[in-house]
Amino acid sequence: MKIVLGIDSEGSYESALHWLVRLRFQEPEVLLVAVLEPLRSPLAGILAPLPEEVMLQSLQAQEEAAEQALQRARTLLETAGIPTTVQIRRGHASTELLRTADETNADLLALGSIGKRGWRAWLVGSVGRAAVTHARQSLLMAHQPPSPDKPLQAVIATDHSDYNRRCLQKLLQFAPQGIQKLLLTTAFEIDSEMLEVLARTTPALKESGSQWIIEQLHERNRELCEQLRSLGAGCESLVVEGATIPALRAVLDETDAELLILGAKGHSLLERLTLGSISHHFATAESYNLLILREEGM
């Protein structure tokens, strides 16, 4: 499994780094990439350009900091037995990271954040948004490192669509062995009018109402749990009646799960407004750790 991890000199990458160690993907190979962005005056057009000597000194300091960060990350990964290579690129971070992921045929692009310090923009600004919108790879987006002193629980959101099931096959391919419990969660909304319409053709629904739907979804969740058994984690079915985003948020908070696993379909505006809207929301507007799965070829 090929993974590209973005590295910065402020340490924003560290959360994602610890997730790569904790998740224990199958046969991971990690490429650590530091992108040196062009230096620009914060008041361009008002102040005179920086002197060439100052520019060269700043570039040298930037490169030294990147090399130190790359070495720290490489040491941690190789201590955990994960083969690692490093690369320094120049340009805009979002462009270079996405290009590197494509050029290396990466399976996963990993980004990190540490609150409002350092490269906070990686998750809520240009880099994170570019990755969510344009990356062809699955994404690991980490705000906090996993807790070292408790079993790792992950919420898997599923709507039982064909695409979502294919994304779960991608999870089986990645084969993370570091998760102790999977909470397979399905949220649904149905109003009384729709319930009445559906009940006309489904007698069981007429008799039991939404309880029949809940039972059917639990049964489908249990079938998926059987398919995920090879991950070596316990698996529990959760069905929540309500809007998907607040339902997932409630499950994450109430269970103290540390990772949300989602399927993401496509990049277009229409897809983000429909099936892709859930992953797009959590990637850009929430602070939960995410593993966003994309089917190959997206």
* Interval 16-47: pLDDT, tens: 999 999 999 999 999 999 998 876 655 555 55
| H helical segments located in 175-260 | 192-199, 203-208, 210-227, 244-255
**All domains of the chain in start order, with CATH:** 2-142 (3.40.50.620), 153-293 (3.40.50.620)
- How confident is the model at residue 283, as a pLDDT? 83
Average pLDDT for 111-135: 63
Cα separation, 190 vs 202, whole angstroms = 15
- How confident is the model at residue 121, as a pLDDT? 43
Q: Do 199 and 176 form a contact (C-beta atoms < 8 A)? A: no
pLDDT, one tens digit per residue, over 157-195 is: 998 888 888 889 999 999 999 999 999 999 988 766 666
What one-letter code names the amino acid at 171? L
Picking from 5-19, 246-260, 273-287, which range would have the lowest pLDDT averaged per residue?
273-287
Average pLDDT over the chain, rounded to whole?
Answer: 83
pTM for this structure? Answer: 0.86
162 vs 255, residue with greater confidence = 255
Phi then psi for residue 118, to 5 deg, are 55, -130
Q: Do 294 and 135 form a contact (C-beta atoms < 8 A)? A: yes
Instruction: Give the residue carrying structure tokens 């190959």.
Output: 296
In angstroms, how far is CA 265 from the centroid of its own chain? 13
- How confident is the model at residue 119, as a pLDDT? 39
- How confident is the model at residue 205, as a pLDDT? 63
Question: Strand (E) positions, the chain?
Answer: 2-7, 29-36, 84-90, 108-112, 138-142, 153-157, 181-188, 234-241, 259-263, 290-293
